[in-house]
Structure 1
Amino acid sequence: MPTLQRKEEKLAPNIQQVVPFLAVSNIEASLRFYINGLGFEKTKEWIDGGKLRWCWLQLEGAALMLQEHRPDKPPSSKPGEGVSLCFQCNDALAIYRAALANGLHPQRPFVGNAMWVTILPDPDGYKLDFESPTDAPEEALYSDPD
């Protein structure tokens, strides 16, 4: 099967990371959600005409790019529809508790495919799934210890 690398290049990896590029309706609302709500850090940005147009966000080993739709080129469909971003983490329940503490509204965590799953929609409807391995029974629901 052909690959994206020539055989002589296999010693040094060429593809380093895949980073989702999300088109958003309001970049400021998205930044509040991702930075203030989830703890991402803005590490790169493009400012055009005094307005933030694009940015790169980083949280530990995960990254996202955000770009606001141009007013003269609205999206042809609803942003976020049918898109899920799955973050593999050590403790999805910690993400749930932190999201609640930061004023976000995650769904109640459940067990699916031997993983705790915390689902959180972003302001544009992109579905963020934070998942971590568990031995809890399938379809179990999280009970907050408080």
Structure 2
Amino acid sequence: MKTAIRHHHTALHVADMERSARFYVEGLGLVRLKEWTSGPYVGELYGRPDVKVKALMLSTGDGTFNLELVQVEDPPPAVNPSEAQPGTAHLAFTDIDLRKVYARMTALGYSALSEPVAPTSGPVAGGLLIYLLDPDGNRVELIQPPDWPPSDNS
């Protein structure tokens, strides 16, 4: 059944485009789709006529998720998105070998809020969870379901 609305992308505002791209591309394995700079419409959209923006669209490569990294050349005052406060959010990725990705991310110098955790209740009980921080402090949750890896029979 087709819904009336579909997800197009999720955007994160970042301080340094290449630093953030390294986290999501080299660390998590997303792929670069397209990079561009803003046209005059962006100033109107942001309500700031002189704003200049760079953007990079990333994807999981299978068409299921697109992540847009946005670097505002004249950034607003900084906030601390790493703290779970109203108005903050996190990204979550699943179907991964969590310990392998965690090892790669820490080897690349990225921070985690903890070691991998095995939840004892909820939808991923028996699996593994972890929160990483991207270069701008955004929380990125990695989820390894309890039935991962999938069997060869699926």
1:129 to 2:131 alignment: no
Aligned 8 A contact 1:55 1:67 in 2: yes
Task: Spell out, residue by residue over 1:45-100, the C-alpha distance to the aligned partner (whole angstroms, 9 max, x if none).
Answer: 21359x970111112443211101231x4146335543221222243233223324
Q: What pairs up with 1:92-103 in 2 under 5 angstroms?
A: 92-103=98-109
Relative to structure 1, the CA distance from residue 127 to residue 28 in structure 2 (aligned partners, 3 Å threshold; closer, same or farther) is: same
Aligned 8 A contact 2:27 2:101 in 1: no
**CA distance in 1 between partners of 2:12 and 2:131 (Å):** 17
Residue 67 of structure 1 aligns with which residue?
A: 70
Aligned 8 A contact 2:57 2:66 in 1: yes
Q: Identical aligned pairs, as a percentage?
A: 31
Aligned 8 A contact 1:62 1:87 in 2: no
Q: Which runs of 5+ in 1 are unaligned?
A: 1-10, 136-146
Aligned 8 A contact 2:91 2:140 in 1: yes
**CA distance in 2 between partners of 1:100 and 1:77 (Å):** 24
Query: For 2:31, which of 37, 41, 46 is the aligned residue?
Result: 41
Q: Which runs of 5+ in 2 are unaligned?
A: 40-51, 148-154
RMSD: 2.8
**CA distance in 1 between partners of 2:5 and 2:38 (Å):** 29
Kindly state the Cα deviation for residue 129 of structure 1 after the two structures are TM-superposed.
0.6
- Which structure carries more strand by proportion? 1
Count, aligned residues: 123
Kindly state the Cα deviation for residue 33 of structure 1 after the two structures are TM-superposed.
1.6
1:89 to 2:95 alignment: yes
Please report the TM-score for the alignment, with normalisation by the length of structure 1.
0.66
Please report the TM-score for the alignment, with normalisation by the length of structure 2.
0.64
